Structure 1
Amino acid sequence: MKKSSIVARNLTYTVFEGSGERNILNHIDCEIESSTLTTVTGPSGSGKTTFMYALAGLLNISEGEVLYSDNSIYKLKQNDRDLFRLENISFIYQHLNLFGFMNVEENITLNYTLRKKKITPEISQKIDWYLELMKLGKIRKKEIQSLSGGEKQRIAIIRAFISKAEFIFADEPTGNLDYKNSLLFMECLKDIMKENHSTVILVTHNKEINDYGDQKITLMDGNII
């Protein structure tokens, strides 16, 4: 059995509605296995994105804990939690969060810029290797605005993985792609996962994308079903 990288215990997130309360996440227990792709599905409003944000330590949860290799992320001070994310977690969003005033290479290496880390020759070679793997070729100095939607999405994958983050969270990353580019995205994602031994949690409403999951979680009304 594979080792669990992330463990959620009694994970609860409550919001106030009028004079009452509602649990967006309702006492969830789950384990995310190391070096696997875990897909999270469910109808709109089921708590998928909230679940992802809670696992990543981005919320002030109401109850419970989230453990990374037995270390509780919610017991960390806010600054330490932010630093943990910067060092260990990368995100891929549906709307990408790529910066138009930066070229491809600058977007890819943004995490290194934020951490004031040097781009070594090894990292530079890895960028070229990823670009070839993604069927993007020699576009390092191209402006982001000149790329297609599918090309931008693959740049977002490279940016997430180039920092060597152990954990990748992806929120509806194929939501703006057509069928062909969605499958290409997932094949590229799986290829880089194998290379980096990363643990990926991917939120999707798409059945074909869900089928790629090594582990599948379905949410309904804030509960795993």
Structure 2
Amino acid sequence: MKSTPIPQPAVTVRNVSRVYGDTANPIHALRDVSLDLHRREFTAIMGPSGSGKSTLMNVISGLDEVSSGLVAVGGTAVSGLNDTARTVLRRHHIGFVFQSFNLVPTLTADENIKLPFVLAGRPMDTETRAWIAHLVRVLGLHDRLDHKPGELSGGQQQRVAIARALAGRPTIILADEPTGALDTRTSREVLSLLTTTAREYGQAIAMVTHDPVAASYADRTVILADGRIAGEYGRLDPHQISDLLIGMEVAA
């Protein structure tokens, strides 16, 4: 009987450290971090300020260089790539969703969604256009495509940002506090969309958040402290997550 091959992780982080400053006064942002992020998995990354969450996202996306260790996205090692190659890697393999939406205010929703293809000089074939039309329909944006960001609600802007992130079918979506600027009801809608994206579209998602409720939507919660992984957990409810975070603060 043939064995089923084990899928390659969307992102591999192996023994990664990131040190800032000089040798006399080093700042250890990450300390020997190892982590795999898989397709069809929604991972929440939590921890107190200064724990290394943002640095971890930056080294995955190639915005920051590792001091030691390996980061690979879609099987391609990020370390050692020059700036141009890193830009190409981000455009083809990484989708970003930000707290502040990061939409271009002078462009319509439709133009914002398609902007990554314009910047990369990538023509959109029939299959890609059909995929974007599907996303627009699922995200309820079909009657907002001609609107500019200033004419959209916060929730609509974030849905445009999610459509833009998904349009190129990236290896990983990195979401940085994606519900931080939204009200409770809209936050739940956005988190449900991210959950659906992982389960139905096979997307890998890593979300940085301080919110236990947001993290409870994830399949896995990874907690960082002092640049190290302090714990990895399966799906937890908000109270369990809060208790873990409080317990860490007490222990510190």
* Counterpart position of 2:155: 150
Instruction: Name the count of aligned residue pairs.
Output: 225
**Cα shift at 1:194:** 3.3
Deviations 1:113-136 (A, max 9, x none): 012223344434433332332233
Normalising by structure 2, report the TM-score. Answer: 0.82
Deviations 1:180-203 (A, max 9, x none): 111100111222333431111110
* Counterpart position of 1:51: 56
* Highest RCO, 1 vs 2 (Cα 8 Å, sep ≥ 6): 1
Structure 1 or 2: larger strand share? 1
Q: 1:167-178 alignment to 2 at 5 Å?
A: 167-178=172-183
% identical equivalent positions = 29
Residue 106 of structure 1 aligns to which amino acid in structure 2? Answer: E
Q: What SS does the aligned partner of 1:141 have? A: coil
Take 1:39 and 1:121, find their aligned partners in 2: how far apart are those partners?
Answer: 34
**Cα shift at 1:158:** 0.4
Q: What SS does the aligned partner of 2:26 have? A: strand
**Cα shift at 1:24:** 0.7
* Counterpart position of 1:98: 103
* Counterpart position of 2:26: 21
Deviations 1:22-48 (A, max 9, x none): 101111112222321111001122111
Q: 1:1-225 alignment to 2 at 5 Å?
A: 3-16=8-21, 19-225=24-230
Q: What SS does the aligned partner of 1:100 have? A: coil
Take 1:208 and 1:2, find their aligned partners in 2: how far apart are those partners?
Answer: 30
Q: Segments of 4+ in structure 1 off by > 4 A?
A: none
**Cα shift at 1:209:** 1.1
Q: What SS does the aligned partner of 1:142 have? A: coil
Against the structure 1 CA distance between its residues 122 and 6, is the aligned structure 2 distance closer, same or farther, given a 3 Å change threshold?
A: closer
8 Å CA contact retained: 2:74, 2:171: no
Take 2:25 and 2:86, find their aligned partners in 1: how far apart are those partners?
Answer: 30
What residue ranges of structure 2 are gaps of 5+ in the alignment? 1-5, 231-252
8 Å CA contact retained: 1:90, 1:167: yes
